[in-house]
Chain A
Amino acid sequence: MADQQHPDESAEHSGASRRDFLKQSSIMAAFAITPPAAVTAVEKGLHETIATRFEQMPLRVTINGAAQQLNIEPRVTLLDLLREQLNLTGTKKGCDHGQCGACTVHVDGTRVNACLTLAMTTEGCKVTTIEGLADGDQLHPMQEAFIKHDGFQCGYCTPGQIMSAVACIREGHADSPDEIREYMSGNICRCGAYSNIVDAIMDVKQGGQKV
């Protein structure tokens, strides 16, 4: 076969850094997303390490009832904040592309994919993860129902399924098995516990407990 040179896609970015990007962007745009101190640091050509410190941004968020005062990089997703910085590993990373639902959490009561949510966008919000669903030792009715109906096997998609299932009922989308199937289709379970999951949600819905 003939030899040919094949630079990969990243070649065009070679040598370009995020801070070069900041320098090249319009100052107005940069101000909109970046703390002024960081822009100043870039403008003055300060070392990357110093610039990094300025890129920590304050975030006030309530997670599972506890108010958190954090400093994070703006590029951190809610999923990685939970898993890698707060050790709340109950929220799972399945695809990191919003395609599997394993990272489902509640932000101000609404189910979202934590992998598609920049943590900074939860400023002032209430985030609930699987770790915050039970009331102390008392499991949430949906957690009980998943155990009772064997709504999981390996357990990896389970936290996302449960968070989604709770929201499904709260949204009023759990009036029939067909409706549940429609509104739970964003949560993939590769072990195939689907029909048991539908049974668990119907059980909770018909049990009439507060979710």
Chain B
Amino acid sequence: METDHTAGKEQIGRSMSRVDGRLKVTGGAKYAAEYELPALVYGVLVTSTIARGRIRSFDTRAAEKLPGVLAIMTYKNAPAVPGYKDTDPAEKRVAGQELRVFFDDQIQFSNQPVALAIADTLEKATYAASLVNVVYDVQKPTTDLSANLTKAYTPERPDDYNRGVADAYKQAAVRIEQEYHTPVHVHNTMEPHAATAVWEGDNAVTVYNKTQGVSLAKKDIQKLFGLSPDNVRVHSPFVGGAFGSSSRIWPPEMAALLGAKLVKRPVKVVAKREQVFNLVGYRPESIQRVALGATAAGKLTGITHHAVGLTSQYEQFTERILHPTKSMYQSPNLNATYRLVGLDLSTPCWARGPGETTGSFALESAMDELAYALNMDPLALRRANFAETDPESKKPWSSNYLRDCYEQGARAFGWEKRDPTPRSMHDGEWLVGMGMSAGIYKSDRAAASARARLGADGSLLIQTAAADVGPGTYTILTQIAAETMGIDASRVRVELGDSAFPQAPPQYGSHTAVSVGSAVHDACQELRRKLAALTDNGKRDATAGQAEQSHETILRQHNLPELVVVTESKGGAELETVARRSFAAHFVAVQVHPTLGMVRVTKIVSAIDAGKVLNPKTARSQVLGAATWSIGMALMEEGVIDDRSGRYVNNNLADYHVPVVADMPAIEVIFIDKNDSVIDPMGAKGLGEISMTGMAAAITNAIYHATGKRIRHLPATPDKLMA
């Protein structure tokens, strides 16, 4: 194995291999469904075969009489959930009435849980679930967004936005106006959602579940069951992919919680692949109208953006679909609206770049169309409309190296070789296209806490209730701690994903490294101050280089078995004086077969301004992941629902296509890697989502360049491109 630990200084910014790598390559990392617990039994969900209506009756007799079956739980015998009755509307993360699992006879979407078969083996529970017979009163479901736009309403939490004159594009010298459509996009994490609940009596519960935020999950479970904070513990040290889908208490978790309460034994529930298509959220379908107006020289004079998204009938899920439009380009005039249509589907949820990914597909496609209308290079058009300050808040950027992204990305890609005429470039019989786009994504910082414990042997233990769903949080926190303490990274151990650890925000919204990294940084600084105070009453600069005496010597001299600090860290007022964003420029080359309409992405260059890069190795991997997701979104991923039944027709990985290794091109990742001096002490900004924002449009823009065919309705499947 490569030697990967260098001492003391300059740990941050180093390409360190993952500290949890060994556990992951040996099968030693434990995910939610993998805890061996005494008296564990299995729960298998029975889900509705209709999308709208009510349960008329159950016949559970055949299932109940099977040996090994403990219970068939339905709304008739499920334990009560006090939190379903009295939730403060202001506290709800999504407006409306959350899905109440096993609550009543109402069916609100297809595949809704109606029963849980609980048995002592997985096979018996599976068989028992198959014997539960449900009779429904069926109503015709409404699931087609396009056909129901007249039902669009303004959400309770509106996001309409105006500056300057409305519809100014209509007076512009050059203008375009188009409609863009993005389909349901399913996270499809490799690990299906799972939970094991273990009750001690009726008032204390431990849950091993798949969640991006143990602090948040704990709080939600506490509220749902009316428990005291000390009596709920959530474990989620390893998460097999999340991308936003593990950010609420979903039906599989509720089923485990309720089932375990009912049978008074630990119950494990693992969602089947077909169930993760709609029981744990998904990116909602959207229809967006974008109009752009510009001067003949390419200066934007007006932007109009009307977005409609789908949601369930019982909740109003909103996302940041208009955010890129508000801040990406300098335009004096902008009017934007956001509407929802409630359908007989489950509630969508946040999916990687929630809203920004969808909105930027429309905006960045429209910019490409405007460039052609202007007879202008698409990159030059974006440069001409660079926003020197945030057009929305009017505040200065905390940092903005988007111009460097444009420059370095274009150079590495070879943008100057592009003949702007569509269908002008070839490679053998294949049409060749080059496209680009820009991306913008918020860079938030939330309050976070960490515990740092220096042991008598000089080892350092960091504990925080953050998650590592894959970006490499264990590793970058190790680096931050090692550098701040001036010790070798091999002496640091980081523990995450336990709600008993100091509070941390969930891992979404690209703000873990910034928020939790700052907490770890501050905790280690505090430890150093304490050490310095021990050695010379605090006279020595606590942050100066390597301590002359080793930490263990200092502890020994003072007879201390350990030194522990818990620090909460959050940004100050300076955060509010600036607009905080990460930026990206994406360049994509494609080949399109002129007859068959097949698309191959052949090259991607992604240039990213995410501030200081804490670990280029793991950071690069995040951008590779975003490129993979963007290829999926642009070319193949589409949740298809039969509107006659309201049921999925492709809820499996053979029919819902995700990119495989053969679909992946060469990808070059460029980090501008310049410190942001405002947001956090490491100089970092958010990374996980910026690299996804806009990239799908770069792919379809390249397809337009190759073929002269504009794809405004994702995904760009061959049928849309056939000659």
Binding site for B on A (CB under 8 A): 1, 3-11, 13-18, 48-49, 52, 73, 75-76, 80, 83-84, 87-97, 99-100, 102, 129-131, 133-134, 139, 143-144, 146-148, 150, 152-159, 162, 180-182, 184-198
- Given A94-B191, A159-B27, decide whether A147 and B661 contact each other with a Cβ distance below 8 A: no
List 7 other contacts, CB 8 Å, given A48-B66, A100-B653, A188-B190: A9-B49, A13-B131, A16-B62, A133-B26, A150-B617, A156-B240, A187-B660
Interface centre among A6, A147, A153, A194 (most CB of B within 10 A): A153
Binding site for A on B (CB under 8 A): 1-2, 17-18, 20-31, 33-34, 36, 42, 49-50, 52-53, 56, 59, 61-62, 65-68, 121-123, 127, 130-140, 187-192, 238-243, 270, 272-273, 469-472, 617-618, 620-622, 624-629, 652-654, 658-662, 664, 666-667
The 9 closest A-B pairs by CB, nearest first: A90-B27, A192-B628, A156-B240, A155-B24, A153-B470, A192-B625, A154-B470, A1-B139, A89-B34
CA distance A87 to B121 in the complex (A): 14
Instruction: Establish whether residues A184 and B661, one from each chain, have CB atoms under 8 Å apart when the complex forms.
Output: yes
Nearest B residue to A11, CB-CB: B133
**In the complex, which residues of chain B have a beta carbon less than 8 angstroms from the beta carbon of A152?**
21, 24-25
Instruction: Establish whether residues A84 and B121, one from each chain, have CB atoms under 8 Å apart when the complex forms.
Output: yes
Nearest A residue to B189, CB-CB: A190
Contact among B22, B469, B662 for A139, CB-based, below 8 A: B22
**In the complex, which residues of chain A have a beta carbon less than 8 angstroms from the beta carbon of B24?**
152, 155, 158
The smallest beta-carbon distance between A42 and chain B, in angstroms, is 14
CA distance A198 to B191 in the complex (A): 22
Instruction: Establish whether residues B652 and A95, one from each chain, have CB atoms under 8 Å apart when the complex forms.
Output: yes
Nearest B residue to A144, CB-CB: B1
- Given A10-B130, A94-B192, A181-B662, decide whether A193 and B26 contact each other with a Cβ distance below 8 A: no
26 A-B pairs (CB sep. < 8 Å) = A3-B137, A5-B135, A10-B132, A14-B59, A14-B62, A14-B133, A48-B66, A87-B36, A90-B26, A91-B27, A92-B190, A94-B191, A94-B273, A143-B25, A146-B25, A148-B1, A153-B622, A154-B189, A154-B242, A155-B25, A158-B25, A192-B627, A193-B621, A193-B624, A194-B661, A197-B661
**In the complex, which residues of chain B have a beta carbon less than 8 angstroms from the beta carbon of A94?**
190-192, 273, 653
**In the complex, which residues of chain A have a beta carbon less than 8 angstroms from the beta carbon of B59?**
14
Interface centre among B187, B190, B242 (most CB of A within 10 A): B190
The smallest beta-carbon distance between B180 and chain A, in angstroms, is 24
Instruction: Establish whether residues B62 and A17, one from each chain, have CB atoms under 8 Å apart when the complex forms.
Output: yes
Instruction: Establish whether residues B122 and A84, one from each chain, have CB atoms under 8 Å apart when the complex forms.
Output: yes
CA distance A99 to B657 in the complex (A): 10
- What does DSSP make chain A's interface, helix, strand, loop or mixed? loop
CA distance A16 to B131 in the complex (A): 8
**In the complex, which residues of chain B have a beta carbon less than 8 angstroms from the beta carbon of A134?**
26
Nearest A residue to B68, CB-CB: A52
The smallest beta-carbon distance between A195 and chain B, in angstroms, is 6
Instruction: Establish whether residues B661 and A185, one from each chain, have CB atoms under 8 Å apart when the complex forms.
Output: yes
The smallest beta-carbon distance between B50 and chain A, in angstroms, is 6
CA distance A154 to B243 in the complex (A): 11
- Given A8-B49, A143-B25, A185-B661, decide whether A154 and B133 contact each other with a Cβ distance below 8 A: no
Nearest B residue to A182, CB-CB: B662
**In the complex, which residues of chain A have a beta carbon less than 8 angstroms from the beta carbon of B139?**
1
Nearest B residue to A193, CB-CB: B621
Contact among A48, A155, A181, A184 for B238, CB-based, below 8 A: A155
Instruction: Establish whether residues B472 and A153, one from each chain, have CB atoms under 8 Å apart when the complex forms.
Output: yes
CA distance A150 to B62 in the complex (A): 50
**In the complex, which residues of chain A have a beta carbon less than 8 angstroms from the beta carbon of B52?**
1
CA distance A187 to B662 in the complex (A): 11
Instruction: Establish whether residues A4 and B138, one from each chain, have CB atoms under 8 Å apart when the complex forms.
Output: yes
CA distance A162 to B29 in the complex (A): 15
Instruction: Establish whether residues A147 and B21, one from each chain, have CB atoms under 8 Å apart when the complex forms.
Output: yes
The smallest beta-carbon distance between A161 and chain B, in angstroms, is 9
CA distance A192 to B629 in the complex (A): 7
Contact among B18, B27, B50, B470 for A191, CB-based, below 8 A: B470
**In the complex, which residues of chain A have a beta carbon less than 8 angstroms from the beta carbon of B49?**
6, 8-9
Instruction: Establish whether residues B628 and A194, one from each chain, have CB atoms under 8 Å apart when the complex forms.
Output: yes
Instruction: Establish whether residues A155 and B130, one from each chain, have CB atoms under 8 Å apart when the complex forms.
Output: no
Instruction: Establish whether residues A7 and B127, one from each chain, have CB atoms under 8 Å apart when the complex forms.
Output: no
**In the complex, which residues of chain A have a beta carbon less than 8 angstroms from the beta carbon of B30?**
89
Instruction: Establish whether residues A150 and B618, one from each chain, have CB atoms under 8 Å apart when the complex forms.
Output: yes
Instruction: Establish whether residues B654 and A99, one from each chain, have CB atoms under 8 Å apart when the complex forms.
Output: yes
**In the complex, which residues of chain B have a beta carbon less than 8 angstroms from the beta carbon of A83?**
33-34
- Given A139-B22, A155-B20, decide whether A90 and B123 contact each other with a Cβ distance below 8 A: no
Nearest A residue to B28, CB-CB: A90
CA distance A95 to B189 in the complex (A): 10
Instruction: Establish whether residues A8 and B189, one from each chain, have CB atoms under 8 Å apart when the complex forms.
Output: no
Instruction: Establish whether residues A75 and B123, one from each chain, have CB atoms under 8 Å apart when the complex forms.
Output: yes
**In the complex, which residues of chain B have a beta carbon less than 8 angstroms from the beta carbon of A18?**
127
CA distance A131 to B660 in the complex (A): 25
Interface centre among A10, A18, A139, A180 (most CB of B within 10 A): A10
Nearest A residue to B36, CB-CB: A87
The smallest beta-carbon distance between A54 and chain B, in angstroms, is 12
CA distance A158 to B191 in the complex (A): 11
CA distance A192 to B27 in the complex (A): 19
Contact among B135, B190, B469 for A189, CB-based, below 8 A: B190
Instruction: Establish whether residues B31 and A156, one from each chain, have CB atoms under 8 Å apart when the complex forms.
Output: yes
CA distance A97 to B65 in the complex (A): 29
Nearest B residue to A201, CB-CB: B661
Contact among B67, B122, B617, B629 for A80, CB-based, below 8 A: B122
CA distance A139 to B27 in the complex (A): 12
CA distance A194 to B546 in the complex (A): 40
Nearest A residue to B126, CB-CB: A75
CA distance A10 to B133 in the complex (A): 6
- Given A153-B621, A155-B24, A194-B628, decide whether A181 and B652 contact each other with a Cβ distance below 8 A: no
**In the complex, which residues of chain B have a beta carbon less than 8 angstroms from the beta carbon of A181?**
661-662, 664
CA distance A30 to B627 in the complex (A): 53
Instruction: Establish whether residues A96 and B273, one from each chain, have CB atoms under 8 Å apart when the complex forms.
Output: yes
CA distance A60 to B257 in the complex (A): 37
CA distance A46 to B555 in the complex (A): 71
- Given A129-B27, A152-B24, A156-B240, decide whether A190 and B17 contact each other with a Cβ distance below 8 A: no
Instruction: Establish whether residues B658 and A190, one from each chain, have CB atoms under 8 Å apart when the complex forms.
Output: yes
The smallest beta-carbon distance between A68 and chain B, in angstroms, is 17
Nearest A residue to B475, CB-CB: A150
**In the complex, which residues of chain A have a beta carbon less than 8 angstroms from the beta carbon of B618?**
150, 153
Contact among A3, A97, A133, A186 for B273, CB-based, below 8 A: A97
**In the complex, which residues of chain A have a beta carbon less than 8 angstroms from the beta carbon of B652?**
95, 97, 99
Instruction: Establish whether residues A188 and B660, one from each chain, have CB atoms under 8 Å apart when the complex forms.
Output: yes
**In the complex, which residues of chain A have a beta carbon less than 8 angstroms from the beta carbon of B62?**
14-17
